[in-house]
Chains A and B, each alone.
Chain A
Amino acid sequence: MRVNIEINGERHTADDVWPGESLLYVLRERLGLPGSKNACEQGECGSCTVYLDDTPVCACLVAAGQAEGRSVRTVEGLGTEDELDPVQEAFVRTGAVQCGFCTPGLIVAAHELVHRSPDATDAEIREALAGNLCRCTGYEKILDAVRLAAKGVQR
């Protein structure tokens, strides 16, 4: 089947898609958008987190056909190479990126949180990021990054 999806503000079309393949596969393998990472394919790690119509979801658990006609925003759509999104900037500044595999999904989840609730408590931050695993950082620096990004949004 053919799937039409608006991704990061642009219309994209993929052909010969099997309806049961995941949105993550379509993004990475068919549309050349490797920002969203593929680690577990079972909703456990959050490294594939994208916005689907403004809601953060695991792209590995969305069937390609379910994304037809909808709008998706990936980490590639948050900033540009010259001008990072403030959440990305905060991750870099606080050293919240080590191997970086978890980062794209965490950035999308954190982006949603700081825009929805810029004065989130630490408990709320942990809750909002509970679906994103990181093997490297031990999460403290990630919390720092989210706090810093939230300050930027409040201002």
Chain B
Amino acid sequence: MKAATPEAVPIAGGTDVMVELNFDKRRPPALLDLGRVAELSGWRTDDGHVRLGATVPYARIVGELGDLLPGLAMAARTVGSPQIRNRGGVGGNLGSASPAGDAHPPLLATGATVELASVRGVRTVPADEFFLGPKRSVLAADELVTAVTVPSAAGPQQFAKVGTRNAMVIAVCSFGLALDTGTRRVGTGIGSAGPTPLRAAAAEDFAAEVLPWDDPPALTDEVAREFGELVAAAATPIDDVRGSAAYRRRALSVLARRTLRWAWQDVRVR
């Protein structure tokens, strides 16, 4: 379908596309309305994973996937406004590939994969290999994002974002965290603090190693602080109108520390 009219612009919720069209930044010869493609508009569970169709709007992720994908649902809840959440979804967030996209940190933290399809076939790409730079990704001109496959939560997950007010903010920086209490792994995702969303591999390894998984006592301040600093060190932020690089690093270390505390509290009460 995309191959037949390669210059057609895919449109899902339109919350990024229509802003560009309304301001004449783009005048494509045709639009490809993905909202009419039934296969993209649902989700199902599959062997410990959720296969989430590209056009499922954030409002449904919040309403239906809070238990299976808590990190993504938390992030979805912070997107725009009710009207935006009723339309926009993960496929469009990936299509735009903004480093500030709120779906990205939870996808990285959970080790999700992105499914891409064209007439040439279907391929899957790990979420942390999907992004190439600001608004650039591995998505080819003739490809569509059909779904993301996200492991169902196997432990507490968190998402936190710093913005200038409570509603309708683009993240100054954001952080997603996923603990897997079975395999004792820690996943991270940093948003808006680099040319692409990023994982903090050193912080993941450190936390997986030192967290007292067997008999979880309270988290020590040293572990939380070290984790926060390793997350901040993984970021490569820039100065822009929304915040300075130094502020973003500082804010990220606070978000990381805080979300690890919240998540660990959940581990202890389970």
> CB-CB < 8 A to B11: which residues of A?
63, 66
Give a binary string over A16-37; 1 marks a CB under 8 Å from any B CB, 0 the rest: 0001111000000000000000
Residue of A nearest to B21 (CB): A20
Interface size class of B (residues with CB under 8 A): 20 to 34
Across the interface, do A46 and B83 meet the contact criterion of CB distance under 8 Å? yes
**Does A127 sit within 8 A of B, measured CB to CB?**
yes
B24-32, B96-104, B116-124, B236-244 - the one binding chain A: B24-32
C-alpha gap A60/B19 in the complex (Å): 8
Binds B, one of A3-11, A49-57, A71-79: A49-57
Q: Determine whether B84 belongs to the interface, using a CB cutoff of 8 Å to chain A.
A: yes
State the Cβ distance, B7 to closest chain A Cβ, in Å.
Answer: 13
Contact A131 B31 (CB under 8 A): no
Q: Which residue of A lies closest to B84 (CB)?
A: A43
Given contacts A19-B30, A20-B31, A61-B13, contact A131 B22 (CB under 8 A): no
* Contacting residue for A22 out of B22, B59, B86, B166, CB 8 A: B22
Contact (Cβ within 8 A) A20 B28? yes
> Cβ of B15 and Cβ of A61 under 8 Å apart?
yes
Q: Contact: B27 with A20, CB < 8 Å?
A: yes
Smallest Cβ distance from B270 to chain A, in angstroms?
28
Q: Is the CB of A43 within 8 A of B31?
A: no
Q: Judge whether A136 is part of the interface by a CB distance below 8 angstroms.
A: no
Measured CB to CB, the nearest residue on chain B to A105 is B83
- Whether, in the assembled complex, B80 has its beta carbon less than 8 Å from a beta carbon of chain A, the answer is yes
Whether A131 and B168, one on each chain, are in contact in the complex, defined by CB atoms closer than 8 angstroms, is: yes
B87 interface residue per 8 A CB criterion:
yes
Using Cβ atoms and an 8 Å threshold, which residues of chain B touch A148?
none
B residues in contact (CB < 8 Å) with A:
11, 13-15, 17-19, 21-23, 27-28, 30-31, 33, 35, 59, 80-84, 86-87, 166-168
